[in-house]
Structure 1
Amino acid sequence: MKLLQERLTPLLKGWVEKGPAGCACIVVRNGQLMYQESFGYADLEKKTKLEPDTIYRIYSMTKVVTCAAALMLYEKGLFLLNDPLEEYLPEFKNPQVYRFNDFGVRSTSPASASIRIKDLFTMTSGLTYGGDNLETERLTRIMMEDAFTKDIRALSKALATIPLAFDPGTHWKYGTSHDVLAALIEVLSGESFGDFLKKQIFEPLGMNDTSFRISEDKRDRLCKMYNRSEDGVLIPNVSMDAPYQPGCNHESGGSGLLSTISDYSRFAQALAKGGDLDGVRILSRKTVQLMATNHLGPQQLNDYNWPQQKGYGYGLGVRVMMNPADGGINGSPGEFGWAGLAGSWVLIDPQEQLSVVYMQQMLPSLEPYIHPRLRAVIYGSIE
């Protein structure tokens, strides 16, 4: 514990000097709090310091919660991973795919197979995020411009009208698959996605500050977002908070949650301990193992080639450590987790019963620099 303090504290302090306005980290192993510190500011202009109850936009760390929630319904026998998605969300029946001939001429034709529910978990559905490189991305970008005005069921139906980027199950592409998974949760549970998460995960685990919207009584605890210029100047970003306002119907399964470092640590601890924390079971040990198993084949692994994920495969909504030597990583095979757009990050290691949650609010996040160094220091400091 002392070694962790000696190594991690100067690292985090150094980042605040050059990067985010503030950052926080919590490390728990075998149920024991090993490290919890925060440095810098939640609001640089007001000199408001980060606190344990500071609320952060966790963006894609929402995906881990969404996938865990869907697996709770899997454990109840409400679906199987290889089931065609159209059996539950009929809007995805007979999907179309964009194709190109040898001369680069684009056309659409029926997909070679249905989207399986597993394809949503593993980002192999052919759904994408918005962008400009592919026609699927372009149409998704246009559709997502007002996504925060749609509930998750309406979003799913809108996404189903866009031809896929590839035949389901053939490639890996980061995208809106987990938003559609949230729509599946609504259909299977008969509840809104937010209500399901609140009743089945947040309330049982005592995650009282985790939600899709920021209430007035908690607004002063929301960490400010900053854009970082190339020369390190931090500029407040107030343009991305529409989805969090009271009255917004959008509950994104891919990126919508707000949380505190303490709340998310309880969720991470539960998974690190095989799905159970303080007598509250959200998943079985065997289902957590399935979640943290690589599900990608060779072509899909080749698609999943982000530099900071070298040595990792991809499981049911999470990166999964496969090859420590390939990634130059001193961690455990089977370690899993994910990161958020603004730099939040979770590491879950059932073998060591270790969980790490890191929070910051900065764009770009400097994720490829920060997260591997956090991992190296933490694993290098435990017995």
Structure 2
Amino acid sequence: MNRMQRLTALLNSFMEKGPAGCACTVVQRGEVLYQENLGYADLAKKKEISPDTIYRIYSMTKVITCTAALMLYEKGLYQLNDPLEEYLPEFKNPLVHRYNEVGDMTVSPAASSIRVKDLFTMTSGLTYGGIGTETERKTRAIMEHAAATMNMRELSRQLAAIPLAFDPGTHWKYGTSHDVLAALIEVLSGQTVEAFLKKQIFEPLGMIDTSFRIPGDKRDRLCVMYDRSEDGSLTVNDRMDGPYQPGCQYESGGGGLLSTTGDYSRFAQALARGGELEGAKLLSRKTIDLMRTNHLSGQQLEDFNWPQMSGYGYGLGVRVLMDPAAGGNNGTIGEFGWAGLAGSYTLIDPQEELSVVYMQQMLPSLEPYIHPRLRSVIYGAL
């Protein structure tokens, strides 16, 4: 039996615990080692997952956004250590929310500018919306209306008006940095993010089903998203689908793309093979090496302590495997990638020329359970 077929039993076990359906594609040196679509894209209609099922990939968008920004870096349009305000003037003279030991808050100037690199590495002081800090609360108020009313330049200006959660470069905090990176791409390229991605990445790689919006003729291919309750029962979640509708200007560099397993697999395989696939060149091997180098140190690495990231550092928009022993991880040092809110996952390993793309649509995603098991079975089958 092909050792990769163990994956089928694993994927079936995932569906017993959660997702209505899932898909996985494993490619090495251009050869498809494994490709399977299991379960349902729509339980009510008994519509099965198929190779052309379209998924909300959420934060797997970040890897594409960072690749696009690095393509502009390779053109010499900016340097990673440049102050961000040289390109996005709204970030000049940033402020920071500061708290003393009893929790009293003040606002004062940041110790330094945000560097372009801080956007890639999530060390900018920008956050996602939340309730923990004043920065998170103010961000939440903006993000609640962002998709309906803003494009990426306007979002960047609104986020720049919020005092940061910390001095740039001092901490790691997951947040809207890659949305601001999308605004930077627009300024440097003179195009919308989608226009740039389409011309420079999607069309050259033949990614015909990857976009920020769902056209009418593809709507029936969009996988239903489900909320999973404690007892494992699934209910439809369509609350978050506003940004995908035609006419929406919001093109989130941090989480806005739709894609298929096949499309994303072509992108991942290009990065696994030194930045090129079938004549379409995205990045040089050397820039990919910079992307998959850990850029965090000290306090920042302590901040990046998600349970499923044990043994990983963080590079230019991607997790990077540094210490396999720390995470009980049978992967390759330098393996990189990221995951999406609803459970999608990519693994890219240039040393093995290996790429993995897994898709599902469920909240919560059970990512800490699912993704490490995928990885251990796949590497165990090589």
TM range, smaller chain: over 0.9
Residue of structure 1 equivalent to 2:107: 108
Q: Deviations over 1:88-131 (max 9, x none)?
A: 00000000001122332100000000000000000000000000
Residue of structure 2 equivalent to 1:51: 50
Residue of structure 2 equivalent to 1:163: 163
1:15 to partner: Cα distance: 1.3
1:14 to partner: Cα distance: 1.4
Q: Distance in 2 between matches of 1:138 and 1:45?
A: 37
Q: Deviations over 1:49-69 (max 9, x none)?
A: 001010000000000000000
Aligned length in residues: 381
Structure 2 counterpart of 1:111, which letter?
A: A
Residue of structure 1 equivalent to 2:342: 342
1:298 to partner: Cα distance: 1.2
1:223 has 2:229 as partner: no
Structure 2 counterpart of 1:268, which letter?
A: A
Residue of structure 2 equivalent to 1:369: 369
Structure 1 counterpart of 2:218, which letter?
A: K
Residue of structure 2 equivalent to 1:2: 2
Structure 1 counterpart of 2:381, which letter?
A: S
Structure 2 counterpart of 1:167, which letter?
A: D
Residue of structure 2 equivalent to 1:284: 284
1:178 to partner: Cα distance: 0.1
Q: Distance in 2 between matches of 1:101 and 1:230?
A: 39
1:374 to partner: Cα distance: 0.1
1:301 has 2:301 as partner: yes
Query: Which aligned pairs between 1:314-333 and structure 2 lie closer than 5 A?
Result: 314-333=314-333
Query: Which aligned pairs between 1:144-293 and structure 2 lie closer than 5 A?
Result: 144-148=143-147, 149-293=149-293
Q: Deviations over 1:190-215 (max 9, x none)?
A: 00111000000000000000000000
Structure 1 counterpart of 2:171, which letter?
A: H
Structure 2 counterpart of 1:11, which letter?
A: L
Q: Which moved more, 1:96-105 or 1:302-311?
A: 96-105
Query: Which aligned pairs between 1:10-89 and structure 2 lie closer than 5 A?
Result: 10-89=9-88
Question: SS of the residue aligned with 1:230?
Answer: coil
Q: Deviations over 1:131-177 (max 9, x none)?
A: 00011000000110011020000000000000000000000000000
Kindly report structure 1 stretches of 4+ aligned residues shifted beyond 2 Å: 101-104
Structure 2 counterpart of 1:100, which letter?
A: Y
1:88/1:32 Cα in 2 relative to 1: closer, same or farther (>3 Å)? same
Question: SS of the residue aligned with 2:381?
Answer: coil
Structure 2 counterpart of 1:22, which letter?
A: G
CA RMSD of aligned residues (A): 0.7
TM-score normalised according to structure 1 size: 0.99
Structure 2 counterpart of 1:103, which letter?
A: V
Question: SS of the residue aligned with 1:290?
Answer: helix
Q: Distance in 2 between matches of 1:22 and 1:103?
A: 48
Q: Distance in 1 between matches of 2:237 and 2:244?
A: 14
Question: SS of the residue aligned with 1:329?
Answer: coil
Question: SS of the residue aligned with 1:146?
Answer: helix
Residue of structure 2 equivalent to 1:93: 92
Q: Distance in 2 between matches of 1:132 and 1:103?
A: 18
1:183 to partner: Cα distance: 0.1
TM-score normalised according to structure 2 size: 0.99
1:370 to partner: Cα distance: 0.1
Q: Distance in 2 between matches of 1:21 and 1:104?
A: 44
Q: Deviations over 1:226-281 (max 9, x none)?
A: 00000000001111100000000100000000000000000000000010000110
Question: SS of the residue aligned with 1:348?
Answer: strand
Q: Distance in 1 between matches of 2:103 and 2:362?
A: 39
Question: SS of the residue aligned with 1:380?
Answer: helix
1:23 to partner: Cα distance: 0.2
Q: Percent of counterpart pairs with the same letter?
A: 74
Q: Distance in 2 between matches of 1:320 and 1:144?
A: 29
Q: Distance in 2 between matches of 1:77 and 1:8?
A: 43
Q: Distance in 1 between matches of 2:99 and 2:303?
A: 19
Question: SS of the residue aligned with 1:199?
Answer: helix
Structure 1 counterpart of 2:301, which letter?
A: L
1:16 to partner: Cα distance: 1.4
Q: Deviations over 1:1-60 (max 9, x none)?
A: 81111x101110111122100000000011110000011000011000001010000000
Q: Distance in 1 between matches of 2:198 and 2:176?
A: 22
Question: SS of the residue aligned with 1:38?
Answer: strand
Residue of structure 1 equivalent to 2:142: 143
Question: SS of the residue aligned with 2:227?
Answer: strand
